[in-house]
């Protein structure tokens, strides 16, 4: 298990990771990424990209490629998202990366359960495609709504009850979770108990935390700006040692990739201090006692 962070193929970020002892990355790809399958010369470009990470001692843990609404009401947009998902899977196969990640999509403005028929239609096909290519799909379970709630957003697989419903609708070993305790903390769910219950479905881990500001909750309730906030590991409420123990108990042998950009303090502020990298290092130091670096 290694510690890394989310990044594009960026020489500056590769150099930062190497010089600070990170061991892996979650590779972010977008539709205009030049080494996606289908682009001219993509295989040579992908091989060079992989070589750049290898030279820095960085393993690509996961390819992050489709944080979009797969259930978009515009058929052309939905078709483009489906194509991006397939291309991400094919890139992961080419690189020998076991997991791809993104959102599940959602029928906007409806109850979560209203998305189940579309989920079954879309992800049954993608699950078969992924399995055929030796790749697994991990859904990030970000609720996307205001106050970190499930009320809104473009991601139906955002509560444990919906995890159960979605995995029952498409019972495939190719579908699992990009597990992130920050979203659980914000919904008052114990990450340790959750990891114990769903550990076998955890395909990839976002190392991000959250803090429940009890003074704000006591005064205003949970649905108030600042009542909960995302933060780097080491600055929130998650017991990372206990979480990692439960993930290992369940057989998780993947990496921990820090998802930055969300901490109110430790981020790069416009016309202010640039603290994002410090936040990454704080998180790395906090997580290191619990991993073997292999």
CATH of the domain at 83: 3.20.20.150
Cα–Cα distances in angstroms (integers) from residue 115 to residues 47, 121, 136, 242, in the given order: 38, 10, 22, 33
What is the pLDDT, as a whole number, of residue 237?
98
Measure the CA–CA gap between 46 and 219, rounded to whole angstroms.
52
DSSP per-residue string spanning 177-201: EEE-HHHHHHTT--HHHHHHHHGGG
What is the pLDDT, as a whole number, of residue 61?
98
Domain count, the chain: 1
Q: Of the candidates 230, 191, 239, which has an alpha carbon nearest to the alpha carbon of residue 208?
A: 230
> For the chain, which ranges sit under pLDDT 70?
none
What is the chain's Cα-based Rg? 18
Measure the CA–CA gap between 253 and 247, rounded to whole angstroms.
8
8-state DSSP, 268? B
Burial of 156 per CB tally in 10 Å (0-12, 13-18, 19+): buried
**Which distant-in-sequence residues (6+ apart) come within 8 Å of 208 by Cβ?**
180, 181, 182, 230, 231, 232, 233, 258, 259, 262
Residues 246-277: tens digit of each pLDDT = 999 999 999 999 999 999 999 999 999 999 99
- Indicate whether this model's pTM tops 0.95: yes
Range of the domain at 131: 3-290
């Amino acid at each position: 298990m290694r510690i890394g962070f989310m990044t594009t193929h960026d020489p500056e970020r590769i150099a930062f990771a190497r010089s600070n002892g990170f061991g892996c990355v979650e590779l972010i790809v977008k539709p205009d990424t030049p080494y996606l399958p289908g682009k001219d010369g993509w295989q040579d470009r992908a091989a060079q990209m992989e070589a750049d990470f290898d030279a820095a001692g960085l393993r690509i843990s996961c390819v992050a490629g489709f944080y979009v609404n797969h259930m978009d009401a515009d058929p052309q947009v939905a078709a483009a998202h489906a194509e991006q998902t397939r291309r991400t899977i094919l890139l992961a196969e080419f690189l020998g990366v076991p997991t791809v990640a993104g959102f599940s999509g959602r029928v906007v403005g409806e109850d979560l359960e209203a998305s189940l028929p579309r989920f079954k239609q879309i992800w049954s096909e993608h699950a078969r495609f992924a399995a055929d290519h030796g790749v697994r799909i991990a859904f990030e379970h970000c609720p996307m709504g205001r106050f970190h709630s499930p009320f809104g957003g473009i991601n139906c697989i955002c509560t444990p009850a919906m995890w159960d419903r979605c995995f029952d609708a498409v019972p495939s070993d190719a579908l699992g979770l990009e597990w992130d305790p920050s979203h659980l903390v914000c919904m008052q769910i114990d990450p340790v108990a959750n990891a114990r219950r769903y550990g076998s479905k955890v395909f990839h881990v976002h190392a991000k935390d959250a803090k429940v500001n009890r003074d704000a909750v006591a005064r205003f309730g949970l649905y108030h700006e600042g009542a909960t906030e995302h933060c780097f590991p080491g600055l929130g409420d998650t017991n990372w040692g206990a979480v990692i123990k439960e993930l290992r108990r369940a057989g998780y042998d993947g990496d921990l990739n820090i998802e930055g950009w969300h901490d109110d303090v430790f981020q790069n502020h416009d016309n202010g201090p640039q603290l994002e990298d410090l936040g990454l290092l704080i998180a790395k130091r906090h997580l290191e006692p619990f991993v073997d670096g292999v």
